[in-house]
Amino acid sequence: MGGMSGPGTGGVPTTGGMAGGGAPSTGGSSATSGGTATGGTGTATGGRSGITIDINGTVLPKEDVIAFVHLGHSNMAGRSARPTASRPYHFTETNLRGWIYRAGNWTPALEPNTAGDQDAKRFNQGGPGTALLKEAVALAPTRYFVSLGYGIGSAYCSQFLPGSLYYDPLIAAPKALKGKVTFGGIVIMLGITERHGTAADISGYPECINKLVTAIRTDLAEPNLPLLLTDYEMGSTGTELAPTGAFGQQIIPQIRRVPTVVSNSAIVPTDGIAMQDNHHFDLDGQKEFAKRVLSVMQTKGWIRW
Per-residue pLDDT of the chain (305 residues; tens, 9 = 90+): 333 333 333 333 333 333 333 333 333 434 433 333 333 333 333 458 999 999 999 999 999 999 999 999 999 999 999 999 999 999 999 999 999 999 999 999 999 999 999 999 999 999 999 999 999 999 999 999 999 999 999 999 999 999 999 999 999 999 999 999 999 999 999 999 999 999 999 999 999 999 999 999 999 999 999 999 999 999 999 999 999 999 999 999 999 999 999 999 999 999 999 999 999 999 999 999 999 999 999 999 999 78
The amino acid that residue 24 corresponds to is P
pLDDT at 304: 79
Assigned domain for 13 exists? no
Q: What is the CATH number of the domain that holds 120?
A: 3.40.50.1110
Assigned domain for 34 exists? no
Assigned domain for 42 exists? no
Assigned domain for 46 exists? no
Assigned domain for 282 exists? yes
pLDDT at 11: 34
Assigned domain for 123 exists? yes
Enclosing domain of residue 276: 61-300
Assigned domain for 148 exists? yes
Instruction: Give the chain's domain count.
Output: 1
> How many residues does this entry show for the chain?
305
C-alpha to C-alpha distance for 50 and 69, rounded to whole angstroms: 23
pLDDT at 34: 35
Q: Is the distance from CB of 200 to CB of 238 less than 8 angstroms?
A: no
C-alpha to C-alpha distance for 255 and 80, rounded to whole angstroms: 23
Strands, E, within the chain: which ranges?
4-5, 52-55, 58-61, 65-72, 94-95, 98-102, 105-108, 144-151, 182-189, 227-230, 265-268
C-alpha to C-alpha distance for 125 and 277, rounded to whole angstroms: 13
Assigned domain for 38 exists? no
